[in-house]
Amino acid sequence: MRIWVSGASSGIGKAIVKQALVMGHTVVATSRSIKNLEQLKDVMASGSLTISQCDVAHSKSVEEFYKTTFSDDAPDALVNSAGITAFKYAAETSIEEFEGIIKTNLLGSVYAIHSVLPAMITRKSGTILNISSVAAIKVLKGSSIYSASKAGLLQYSRVLREEVREHNIKVIDVLPGATETPIWDEKVRNKHGERMMKPADIAELVVKLLTDQGNMVAEEIVLRPVTGDL
């Protein structure tokens, strides 16, 4: 299986790449930082890896990457894992931060999906999996614009799912709670790390979802630490 993973240089995205490679899949890993992606080359795995710089927040970057890498074809699966946030109250968040979060988390995923859809529809197969967040469905102070970006993506996915059912395309949304990734401040991870979920555990589930060839799809999955949200 050929899998495109965005936001692959850290956190859940990086863990998904590693798990997919270990399972023998062909992975195209993208991120804004090619330097950070270079670290993935050290993964000992039976699969094959291609790394490429692509800033999903910019539609032209996505278009150029897609044409160069996939041409008229499409990956078997797309994983939208690129994401940023600012843990600030709305009144303290700048316009630049608002725009950056929306462009990366919401529009970035939409741009990537838009690029793969034509070939998936023609082929009558494909899986699109979005790494969302419990913030899409729960009120969390200090995460207003992040929550808006994830809620927007979730609703976009729900509509898209109905539109592409006839083309045998699966659309899956995974909504993790607190996960020990660099999106959290180091002080928070040091304090709550034991309670947080691990990226590797989420990655194992994601790769299973991607590789399931049966006539069944887990459309929305909420994941939380056993002890609940932070």
Residue 192: predicted pLDDT: 77
User: CB neighbours of 155 closer than 8 A, spacing ≥ 6?
Assistant: none
pTM (2 decimals)?
0.94
Decide which of 3.40.50.2300, 3.10.580.10, 3.30.565.10, 3.40.50.720 is the CATH code for 2-223: 3.40.50.720
Tens of pLDDT, residue by residue over 58-69, are: 999 999 999 999
Q: Where are the domains of the chain?
A: 2-223
Spatial distance between the Cα atoms of 1 and 5, rounded to a whole number of angstroms: 13
User: What percent of the chain has pLDDT above 90?
Assistant: 85
User: CB neighbours of 146 closer than 8 A, spacing ≥ 6?
Assistant: 85, 86, 101, 105, 133, 135
Largest CA distance in the chain: 49
Tens of pLDDT, residue by residue over 8-47, are: 999 999 999 999 999 999 999 999 989 999 989 888 778 8
